[in-house]
Amino acid sequence: MNKKATAADKLRINIFDMVASIGRLIYLMNPVIGEHHLQVAYLAYRLGEELNLSNERKFDLFMAGALHDIGALSLNGRSDRLEFETNNPDEHAIAGSLILDQCKPFSNISRLIKFHHVPWKNGKGAFHKGECVSTENHLIHLADRVAVQISGETPILDQVQCIRREISIQEGVLFVPEHVDAFKHMAKREYVWLDVVSGSIETVLKRTVLFKEKELSNEEMADFSKLISRLIGFKSRFIAAHSRGVAAVAVELSRLSGFSKQERRLIEIAAYLHDLGKVAIPPQILEKQDKLSDHERSIMQSHVYHTYQVLEPFETLRIAGFWGTLHQERLNGTGYPFGLTSDDLPLGARIMAVADVFTALTENRPYRKGMDPDSAKAALQSMRNAGELDHYLVDIVFDHYDNMNAVRDAAQKEASADYHCFQENLHRCFNA
């Protein structure tokens, strides 16, 4: 039965926070794309102003700019520079549109970036591959080509004339003439250029872009978590699958601990996001099979701080971000990064810690198989006795061990199926 969502089922989200949070994750995965996205978001928004577009369309341009090359993250290892922009550019644009299409809060942005490298060709570029190419795609294209010409080596205002000339040459060829006119007006505003290279463009955007809130349903929030999980999966399928396992166990533990439906949703989000900071850890440390050296361990431990950094702009998810960030804390004060003790660790954080340990012990890892029940129980018991994990929660795990393990396993298989399904869809789109 399709139940109608009630107000209590919805979370009020500031969309800017949501985009900023994804932007920070993208930056951690690939700083070049992260910085480029913010510049294009800003320039596209300003072009929208010059063209007197509605606030709604300007906001969409900001979002499209901030996410336009997201598909490049799926091009394993081929996105370190911005070469994907010129080398078969349809590939990353279509991949990006597919990624956003599957996340309801961003699905309207999908069609604004799908063809963001299609040249105007005196009007022929209004259509591509049998589809209509929207104005926004052409504006993103223009903003994108402006952004890639900006160099960090020379003072920005010395570069304006040259960028203006390069863009003008392509009027009618690559870009819509009306858009080039708008660009020329924009180019006269020195503050625009200074904003782009200010080094604090996220803050500038927050000040510039109009505030927009939206109520997101359970499904939409789940889509958002899955989007994050998918991005993490491009960097490491293992981390994405681990997080899905932790989420399933954490939801089960919170249900058995009496959490409300709303709290269970937040704990699920916290679990999906708890290890996202690992995308910043070099693969040789992340995937090392031997014991980590002290130096490597300290790098690995920084992942929690990165998780905190990504979630920090997200006001509505503050509590989920808080629980997620504390998953490595231990009740006896031996955890990290804050070394908190039982007095300061809420039940949500304790659940995250137990779900994380349980999943880590029982899941198959690239270099070892998951532990059998007796060994996993012994390891949990020893952490419980040492005062690291919550007694009450470990008891719940013991009482429901088989069910917990089955739930974890099913969620991780689903994560793997989801990954393959996405790759197949991508393949189908390219060959359409």
Tell me whether residue 11 or residue 352 sits nearer to Fe ion (CB atom): 352
Contact region for Fe ion (CB under 5 A) — 17-25, 77-85, 99-107, 215-223?
77-85
**3 state SS for the chain:** CCCCCCHHHCEEEEHHHHHHHHHHHHHHHCHHHHHHHHHHHHHHHHHHHHCCCCHHHHHHHHHHHHHCCHHHHHCCCCCCCCHHHCCCHHHHHHHHHHHHHCCHHHHHHHHHHCCCCCCCHHHHHHEECCEECCHHHHHHHHHHHHHHHCCCCCCHHHHHHHHHHHHHHCECCCECHHHHHHHHHHHCCHHHHHHHCCCCHHHHHHHHCCCCEEEECHHHHHHHHHHHHHHHHHHCHHHHHHHHHHHHHHHHHHHHCCCCHHHHHHHHHHHHHCCHHHHHCCHHHHCCCCCCCHHHHHHHHCHHHHHHHHHCCCHHHHHHHHHHHCCCCCCCCCCCCCCCCHHHCCHHHHHHHHHHHHHHHHCCECCECCCCHHHHHHHHHHHHHCCCCCHHHHHHHHHCHHHHHHHHHHHHHHHHHHHHHHHHHHHHHHCC
Does position 91 interact with Fe ion (CB under 5 A)? The reply is no
Count the residues of the shown chain that bind Fe ion, applying the rule CB under 5 A: 4
Tell me whether residue 85 or residue 171 sits nearer to Fe ion (CB atom): 85
Contact region for Fe ion (CB under 5 A) — 63-71, 149-157, 201-209, 358-366?
63-71
Of 69, 136, 252, 363, the residue at the interface with Fe ion (CB under 5 A) is 69
Contact region for Fe ion (CB under 5 A) — 46-54, 85-93, 209-217, 367-375?
85-93
Which positions from 160 through 219 interact with Fe ion, judged by CB under 5 A?
none
The nearest distance, CB 323 to Fe ion, in angstroms, is: 12
Contact region for Fe ion (CB under 5 A) — 67-75, 189-197, 207-215, 419-427?
67-75
Contact region for Fe ion (CB under 5 A) — 229-237, 241-249, 274-282, 403-411?
274-282
The nearest distance, CB 417 to Fe ion, in angstroms, is: 24
Does position 275 interact with Fe ion (CB under 5 A)? The reply is yes
Tell me whether residue 137 or residue 254 sits nearer to Fe ion (CB atom): 137
Tell me whether residue 11 or residue 304 sits nearer to Fe ion (CB atom): 304
Tell me whether residue 313 or residue 335 sits nearer to Fe ion (CB atom): 335
The nearest distance, CB 124 to Fe ion, in angstroms, is: 20
Which positions from 128 through 147 interact with Fe ion, judged by CB under 5 A?
144
Instruction: Give the footprint of Fe ion on this chain (CB under 5 A).
Output: 69, 85, 144, 275
